[in-house]
Structure 1
Amino acid sequence: MTAFRTTGPEGEPVTLAEAKAHLRLQHDSEDELVTGLIRAAREEVEAATGLALMAQTWRKVLDALPRDRTVRLTPHPVREVLSVTVFGEDGEGSVVNPAGYAVDAVSRPARVHFKTPLVPTASLNGIEIDFVAGHGEAATDVPDLLKRAMLVLVAHWYEFRGVHGASDQPVSYPAGYERLIAPFRRRRIA
């Protein structure tokens, strides 16, 4: 099982203007750098929390269904399952009727339970589940603590950009970053 993003978010939770105000930058000469830091900060927060901050499309690919016929979807929150496709050995796809499965988007991770077994005849990657994950389309849909964590990262990386080379980044995380994202991390019971 693997999941990958097929369409990224249309925007970022933090705007260039917000980041520049946080950095107290009044010139435009480093806008490209700050824009890249915003994108990197979003990706870091998403990776650390297992969340999709802004709406984006993902695809989960499986060889076969698990024995319990329940597939777990990440990242969280899952907003909608767009389609489930089963492939034959010649590569022909067949879309599964949504009445054949139930979606639990409330749980973390979200789950898709199939009422009957799916039997792909393709030996590898025979099942694809396309879904939308993210808090919403607008930056205002993203929790403020996560946006604050992004701004803290942007400021830290901006401040220490010359100390280490680009290939060494991120070298460190700022104080307080872990505390900001802690409520959003997925916890496991040992």
Structure 2
Amino acid sequence: MDRLTPLSKPDPVVTLDEVKANLRITHSEEDVLLARLIASATASLDGRDGALGRALMPQRWRLERDQFCYGIEMPLPPLLSVQAVRYLDAAGIEWDLDLTDVVIVGTDPAVLRARTIWPTVLAEPGAVAIEFTAGYLQVPEPIRTAIIRSVGSLYVNREAAAGAAALDFSGLDPYRQWAFG
């Protein structure tokens, strides 16, 4: 079973100034509220728990697996880089795999493959750990626009009992990852 753990917190996808300009707000009295709404709308889309199943801004993650396989499809595309591949050998000793022994095929999706064969690992959960950075260098405008639009809707409808209903991410299906695991 694969497990994902965040190792860093990404920068915001949209800025407070962009949201305020969209809402035509010139004062700073509601900056704290708007920052919370930006974080909420972004979290609805971003990362392991987001609706898109991808990393929006560059962020580091750790993928733990029970074993190597021929091709390891990396979660949270687009993949930017792999920092480390660690594993427990049959004796339970942790090793760092030389990254020159790893081939990355593609970015969205990306698949990790061994140049020759993967090493034998201990039969234990989390015996393989891959640290990687994923996210867009420039977030596609439809995603940024959806976040700004949703923040506006949440701001205008903040008294509504079903605030989550104000999130409108229609039109983002081309960016959605439909499965992980």
Aligned partners of 1:125 and 1:187: how far apart in 2? 24
Structure 2: gaps spanning 5 or more residues: none
Alignment CA distance shift 1:79-1:116 (3 Å): same
User: How much does 1:122 deviate?
Assistant: 5.9
Aligned equivalent of 1:144? 141
User: How much does 1:154 deviate?
Assistant: 0.4
What is the TM-score normalised by the length of structure 2?
0.86
Aligned partners of 1:134 and 1:38: how far apart in 2? 18
User: How much does 1:153 deviate?
Assistant: 0.9
Aligned equivalent of 2:150? 153
Aligned equivalent of 1:173? 167
Amino acid at match of 2:128: I
User: How much does 1:169 deviate?
Assistant: 4.5
> What is the Cα-based RMSD across aligned positions, in Å?
2.1
User: How much does 1:133 deviate?
Assistant: 0.3
Please give the residue correspondences for 1:20-59 in structure 2 after superposition, counting only pairs within 5 Å.
20-46=20-46, 47-59=50-62
Q: Which residue, out of 151, 155, 174, partners 1:183?
A: 174
Aligned partners of 1:119 and 1:130: how far apart in 2? 19
Structure 1: gaps spanning 5 or more residues: none
Say whether the 8 Å CA contact 2:54–2:177 is kept in structure 1. no
Aligned partners of 2:53 and 2:27: how far apart in 1? 34
Alignment CA distance shift 1:82-1:105 (3 Å): farther
Aligned partners of 1:82 and 1:8: how far apart in 2? 16
Q: CA offsets, 1:136-165, max 9 Å, x none?
A: 2xxxx111111101101101111222112x
Aligned partners of 2:81 and 2:125: how far apart in 1? 25
Amino acid at match of 1:178: S
Amino acid at match of 1:156: S
Determine helix, strand or coil for the equivalent of 1:171.
Answer: helix
Aligned partners of 2:9 and 2:106: how far apart in 1? 20
Aligned partners of 2:122 and 2:175: how far apart in 1? 39
User: How much does 1:56 deviate?
Assistant: 0.3
Say whether the 8 Å CA contact 2:150–2:166 is kept in structure 1. no
Determine helix, strand or coil for the equivalent of 2:7.
Answer: strand
Amino acid at match of 2:110: A
* Aligned positions, number: 174
Aligned partners of 1:26 and 1:172: how far apart in 2? 23
Aligned partners of 1:110 and 1:2: how far apart in 2? 17
Alignment CA distance shift 1:89-1:117 (3 Å): closer
Identity level (%): 25
Matched, 1:124 2:121: no
Matched, 1:17 2:9: no
Say whether the 8 Å CA contact 2:89–2:120 is kept in structure 1. no
Structure with greater helix share of residues: 1
Say whether the 8 Å CA contact 2:14–2:144 is kept in structure 1. yes
What is the TM-score normalised by the length of structure 1?
0.82
User: How much does 1:109 deviate?
Assistant: 2.4
Aligned equivalent of 2:105? 104
